[in-house]
Structure 1
Amino acid sequence: MDQILGQVLRNAVWERLDMLSDLANRADAPSLVSVARSELPRLTEGWRAMLRAHEPDVRGDCPTCSTRWHRCKAPCSVWQVAHEHLVAGGLAPQEAPRGRGRKRSPLPAQATHQTAADTQGRHALIPQAPAAAR
């Protein structure tokens, strides 16, 4: 039951983000101003709440990402993504360190989400089988 509720919650968040992206790409100027005034404060407060949960403790560990057996040093991936998207977002994507053989995507999570949504239906509660398996 928790998995279904979690999936419903995730779907609602993805759908809200999709709606805001669509508005940003298609709305006229007066609509954009209205959306910006109502949504930017909510989005910035959401980022602040999430980042507060990932503030390093006195040992320099992220209390949210750390477990009893594995300590996650700050900055954790949440802070790294926040910096990438909120501060360094205008910078060109950088080449991955040698040996990895691929470039970093400027929006890794979004790109993965959009690809799955485009090929399998947007926010399915039941994961679809890969196209090759059908």
Structure 2
Amino acid sequence: MDQVLGQVLRNAVWERLDMLSDLAERADAPSLVSVARSELPRLAAGWRAMLQAHEPDERGDCPTCSTRWHRCKAPCSVWQVAHEHLVAGGLAPQALSAAGQRPARRRAAVPAVPGQNRRAEAPAETTGRHALVKPRPVSA
């Protein structure tokens, strides 16, 4: 059940990000101002909450990314991505794709290649833009 819920949550987030990107590309100026006023504070609050969970502890480790067996020194990948996208600006998409990670935005659903996901596969969603996308492995 957790896998199904996780897939539903991931799909909802991807759909929302796709919608916002589409609005940024296609909306007229008054619509953009309206969306910016409502969405920018929510996005900033979301980044703040995520970054707060990844604040280094007194040893300089990220408490969220660290495990019992492997300590993750700050800045963790979450802080690095935040810097790339919020501070470095236009360099982030090239940096991510060069590292072999997911690009900043997906344009369409891509079916997963069987056997490449090491986790147990959740039942696929049957509707929505990301219906064929399998859950990504979580890296610690």
Report TM bin, short chain. 0.7 to 0.9
| Matched residue count | 116
Q: TM-score, normalised by structure 1?
A: 0.76
Going from structure 1 to structure 2, the CA distance change for 1:15 and 1:71 (only over 3 Å counts) comes to same
Kindly provide the CA deviation profile for residues 75-98 of structure 1, in whole angstroms up to 9, marking residues without a partner as x.
00000000000000134846xxxx
Match of 2:130 in 1: 123
Counterpart mapping for 1:42-61 below 5 A:
42-61=42-61
Counterpart mapping for 1:105-124 below 5 A:
108-110=101-103, 114=106, 117-120=108-111, 122-124=129-131
Contact residue 11 and residue 123 of structure 1 kept, 8 A = yes
- Partners in 1 of 2:80 and 2:110 — Cα distance? 29
- Partners in 1 of 2:27 and 2:130 — Cα distance? 23
Structure 2 unaligned blocks of 5 or more: 112-127, 135-140
Supply the RMSD in Å over aligned alpha carbons.
2.5
Highest RCO, 1 vs 2 (Cα 8 Å, sep ≥ 6): 2
Secondary structure of the 2:89 match is coil
- Partners in 2 of 1:56 and 1:63 — Cα distance? 7
Secondary structure of the 1:114 match is coil
Return the structure number with greater helix share. 1
Match of 1:82 in 2: 82
Going from structure 1 to structure 2, the CA distance change for 1:66 and 1:32 (only over 3 Å counts) comes to same
Match of 1:2 in 2: 2
Contact residue 62 and residue 75 of structure 1 kept, 8 A = yes
Identity over aligned pairs, percent: 80
Contact residue 110 and residue 132 of structure 2 kept, 8 A = no
Secondary structure of the 1:52 match is helix
- Structure ID, larger Rg: 1
Structure 1 unaligned blocks of 5 or more: 95-102, 128-134
Kindly provide the CA deviation profile for residues 18-75 of structure 1, in whole angstroms up to 9, marking residues without a partner as x.
0000000000000000000000000000000000000000000000000000000000
- Partners in 1 of 2:18 and 2:90 — Cα distance? 21
